[in-house]
Amino acid sequence: MLRATRFLKKGAGAITRISATSKHVLRSSATQQRPYHQAGPDTSEKETIVKLLYNIGSKKEVEQYLRHFSSVESQKFAVIKVGGAVISDDLATLASALTFLNRVGLYPIVVHGAGPQLNTRLAAANIEARYEDGIRITDGPTLAIAREVFASENRKLVEALERLGTRARPITGGVFVADYLDKDKYDRVGKIVKVNREVVESSIRAGCLPILTSLAETPEGQILNVNADIAAGELARVLEPLKIVYLNEKNGLYNGTTGKKIETIHLDEEYQDLLKEPWVKYGTKLKLKEIKELLDTLPRSSSVAIISAEHLHKELFTHSGAGTLIMRGHRLFCEQDLAKVDSDRLRALFKEHDPAIASGETTAASYWQELAQTKKSGGQYWVYGDEPYQVAAVVVRKPGQTVGVLDKFIATKSALITRDHSKLVWRVPRGDDNLSWHFERADGSWAIGDEIVFWYGIKDWSEVSSILGTAGPTAAAGAAPQAKAPAGTRTYSTMARRMAVRNAAPSSRRSYSTASPGSPLRVGLIGARGYTGRELIRLIDSHPRYELAYVSSRELAGKPVPNYTKSQLDHVNLSAQQVGDIAKNGRSDVDVWVLALPNGVASPFVAAIDEATASLRADQQPVIVDLSADYRFDSSKRWAYGLPELHREKLVGSTTGRIANPGCYATGSQLGIAPLLPYLDPTRLPSVFGVSGYSGAGTKPSPKNDPAFLKDNLIPYSPVNHIHEREIGYSLTRAAKPEYPFNAANPLKVQFTPHVASFFQGIGLTLHVPLRLSITAKDVHELFKEFYRGERLVHVTETAPLVRDNAEKHYAVVGGFAVPPQSDGAAGSVSLAERRVVVNVTLDNLLKGAATQAIQNMNIALGLDEYAGIPLQEEPAISLA
């Protein structure tokens, strides 16, 4: 089951973005050498590392892989082949990655080569490196230098591990027994005939990582050279590990035609087709052949991963992986006659995994009868499955229909279904753990109640609606929408692209369309006089689905709404009671109310809407987006906090349609702190120095928005207890995972000092974030890039972003990462009091800090594409003069 689970990625709301590289984690523990007699990792240390692993994947999947890897004998965890180039070019990362695994109680077995180093030494000795059939010809002088080089490189890796407190044992002989491969042709090159596993196992029993060279010996004691790939494969055949890992610098195999990384290969299903690809030749073809021959001799639970040292932990402990995963898999079948399938095994599979049959709602026999009746009346059905009956799917096309419906689906394989059906429709429960897998394979989707309807190959919603007998968007004709696939999803086949699903009963929960274009969604804007209100009007005017129904402003009542071209509209002055009267009609008049009001003013309008709509179903009630601070600290769980990059799951799953839009300073500060949450020092407070343009002070005249007073000036205000100071700590605490060093009982607190400057719009933030471990600026940069991968309104840059470059842009920029200098150049040499990261953030206070974020939240709440109507610029080229 674990192998199948590997290919079912987490749900859309549970997207994992943090990639805590091994280097981040290890430097906190690398300063103390582990006593030699200690045979395993310290319990508290192991718990800490496991908790940090939760940041590269969900707690559930990390623990799943840990249980899986720990369920076998230590020597059966993984054999890792390390190329010589990795040792010479990336030794520190390699040692950190191996130490990371050892800290959680795992013992990878390393077999390394030294090809580049050997060539360098041979050239220095004026010895020509000669090859025949890709095999190094190893004469006496070559072998003598090879032994020295292997011993030297082996010692380098062992010493690097020991410096990190990880016990390692150098093994340069005694494991591989070989005969001459062809003495006349290759000289002293061996063919392994026996593996002495006891040498490896004794190292593990002593608590040491086995570090092997690939040199072998004849029974008479003659040393022979063996290719490291071959040696690693022969060792794997004897030990039968769960994982065989080949480390390379490219982090996987790449499609020579598209240039894209191949994420997964199922050999039983795809091997022959892969060999026909024009780019699969020479070394690539040989590598695939060797891997197939190796896996053919191992249990089906074994797999090969091709990955870089830096991403090794992510490949091993997450469903999404990071490199290329190769496994045997199973061949798929397709039958249109139930008599040709093993009905007993199919029935057993459905009884265990199909919700309707497992719950007793129906029986397998009744379902077989339905299929037979469909065929008898002129329809068709297709039964798909794999040879061991671990996956199965049924596609049904009723009489008179041209599109098949995926009626039953268990597990993950889809190549045959997509080959046979150019169009397909299916339903998935909203809470399904594998939503991202479905989004990846769909051309469009529609959220309705507790389900999401997916389809591919269909251009018109009416076709989907007629098949399912479900009413949907009233005007969804035209191009089918592009479903927004959650980030971090592994594409589970190099050939197949789409498919999925289980059936689920509908409910009366909120129902909105992801299809576009469709019927207009009407917006009521309360508070249009301010700068944010004006930006909202501009964004709504250019939005493909929104139109303004009411624009309310006490000062502007009766005047035309500027910068709005969809219709002629005048400002009105709506009271809370009048808003309530409009809301009584539910969404027939207004789909979403946006409250762009000062703090403390929104609650009467919210109360009026709540009272007027109390008797309506959830899907009839309008959405409310409040831009004030009135509901950002709501503890009733009626209000979702609208920072999608950190709280998307709660926004997508909200049934109340009440969204508290974050403050501008709070948005930037949280974006700058969130990736570092697992590493915060709970004894010290993060500090935020913020500077805003004077538009942040509003339109009511004051010294803080008087350009003449601000000229050549910088004004601090609210130096303590600013409402954004409380909001930053409160909201980050709510975003924290259980294993973080703070929670509701011990909330995170920050120090925040705002300032206003002479420019009009934009915010610059400098954050000092205290950590409980040492880290490099490069590592922080990589951490932030991984955390915000796929986020189109957060850009990560290595240099410090500038306010002027980000004004009038809809995204935030995070960058300029800096750490205190190491006193002696060694990681971990900075004292605890000095361990911190400096992060710079810029954003437009009126856009990502207010109006743009409101549109983003409205889109999510109404089931539209999250970025609909938001101008998405390319990542900026930012530099410091």
Q: What is Dmax (Cα atoms) for the chain?
A: 102
Q: Which of 121-125, 334-338, 501-505, 679-683 has the lowest mean pLDDT?
A: 501-505
Q: What is the mean pLDDT of residues 684-695?
A: 93
pLDDT at 442: 73
**What are the residue boundaries of the structural domains of the chain, listed by start?**
2-8+19-327, 332-513, 521-630, 664-859
Per-residue model confidence as pLDDT tens digits over 498-523:
222 222 222 333 333 333 345 789 99
Segment 346-361 shows an average pLDDT of 82
Reported confidence tier of residue 67, pLDDT bands at 50, 70, 90: low
Per-residue pLDDT band for 833 (boundaries 50, 70, 90) equals low
Distances (CA, A) of 719 to 164, 672, 684, 709, 790: 43, 20, 18, 20, 35
Q: Which residues lie below 8 Å from residue 635, measured CB to CB, with a gap of 6+?
A: none
Residue in the structure block whose two tokens are 């930053």: 728
Which position has the higher pLDDT, 879 or 347?
Answer: 347
pLDDT band for position 421 (50/70/90)? confident
DSSP letter string, 220-264:
T--EEB--HHHHHHHHHHHH--SEEEEE-TTSSEE-TTT-PEE-E
Res. 535: pLDDT tops 70: yes
DSSP string, 266-335: EHHHHHHHHHTSTT--HHHHHHHHHHHHHHHTS-TT-EEEEE-GGGHHHHHH-SS-SSEEEE----EEEE
Tell me if 625 sits within 8 A of 567, measured CB to CB: no
Average pLDDT, the chain: 79
Over pLDDT 70: what percentage of the chain?
A: 79
CB atoms within 10 A of CB 509: 16
The domain defined by 2-8+19-327 folds into Carbamate kinase (3.40.1160)
Is the C-alpha dihedral spanning 457, 462, 465, 471 positive or negative? Answer: positive
Average pLDDT for 442-463: 74
pLDDT of 321 strictly over 70: no
Q: pLDDT-based confidence at 15, cuts 50/70/90?
A: very low
Instruction: Say whether pLDDT at 854 is over 70.
Output: yes
List the CATH code of the domain at 332-513. 3.40.630.30
Distance CA 658, CA 667 (A): 18
- How far is 241 from 233, CA to CA, in rounded Å? 11
Q: Measuring CA to CA, how many Å separate 101 from each of 67, 88, 462, 651, 870?
A: 14, 21, 53, 35, 43
Mean pLDDT over 670-693 rounds to 93
With b for 16 or more beta-carbon neighbours within 10 A and e for fewer, the 40-67 pattern comes to ebeeebbebbbbbbbbbbbeebbebbbe
Question: Are 329 and 266 within 8 A, CB to CB?
Answer: yes
Q: How far is CA 91 from the centre of its chain?
A: 27
pLDDT tens digits for range 127-157: 988 888 778 899 999 999 999 999 999 999 9
At residue 19, does pLDDT exceed 60?
Answer: no
- Asked whether the predicted pLDDT for residue 666 surpasses 90, the reply is yes
Q: Does residue 182 register a pLDDT over 90?
A: yes
- What is the average per-residue pLDDT within 539-555? 92
386 against 813, higher pLDDT:
813
Radius of gyration of the chain (CA): 31
List, as one string, the DSSP characters of 793-841. Answer: TEEE-SSPP-HHHHTT-SSEEEEEEE-PPPSSS-TT-S-GGG-EEEEEE
Taking residues 769-780, what's their average pLDDT? 88
Mean pLDDT, residues 622-641 taken together: 90
416: β partners: none
Q: Which pair of tokens denotes residue 573?
A: 């002055």
What pLDDT band is residue 568 in, cutting at 50, 70 and 90?
Answer: confident
Give the pLDDT mean for 633-647. Answer: 89
Per-residue pLDDT band at 278 (split at 50, 70, 90):
confident
> Which has more pLDDT, 253 or 508?
253
Mean pLDDT computed over 151-169: 93
Identify the weakest region by mean pLDDT among 264-273, 475-484, 537-546, 748-757: 475-484
How confident is the model over 77-112, as pLDDT tens digits? 789 999 888 898 889 888 888 888 887 778 889 999
Residue 28 has pLDDT above 80, yes or no: no
Cis peptide before 707 (omega within 30 of 0): no
Average pLDDT on 304-331 reads: 77
- Closest to 679 measured CA to CA, from 93, 47, 31, 51: 51
Residue 583's nearest CA partner among 601, 604, 598 is 604
Residue-level pLDDT at 317: 65
Q: pLDDT band for 878, please (50, 70, 90 cuts).
A: very low
Per-residue model confidence (pLDDT) at position 477: 31
User: How confident is the model over 553-562, as a mean pLDDT?
Assistant: 89
d(CA 488, CA 443): 18
With tokens 């249990």, the residue in question is 299
Give the list of residues 6+ apart from residue 240 with CB closer than 8 angstroms, or none: 76, 298, 299, 302
Instruction: Please say if the pLDDT value at position 574 is more than 60.
Output: yes
Supply the pLDDT for residue 744: 77
Decide if 2-8+19-327 and 664-859 have a common fold: no
Write the DSSP symbol of residue 498.
Answer: -
Mean pLDDT of all residues in 268-284: 81
What is the pLDDT at residue 100?
80
**pLDDT score recorded for residue 40:** 45
CATH number of 521-630: 3.40.50.720
Band of residue 318 on the pLDDT scale cut at 50, 70, 90: low
* Amino acid type, 82: V
Residue 830 pLDDT greater than 80, yes or no: no
Residue with tokens 């071209």: 565
Q: Which residues are catalytic?
A: 664
pLDDT of residue 22: 32
Report the CATH number of the 664-859 domain.
Answer: 3.30.360.10
Whether pLDDT at 546 is above 90? yes
User: Judging by beta carbons within 10 Å of its beta carbon (0-12, 13-18, 19+), is residue 772 exposed, middle or buried?
Assistant: middle
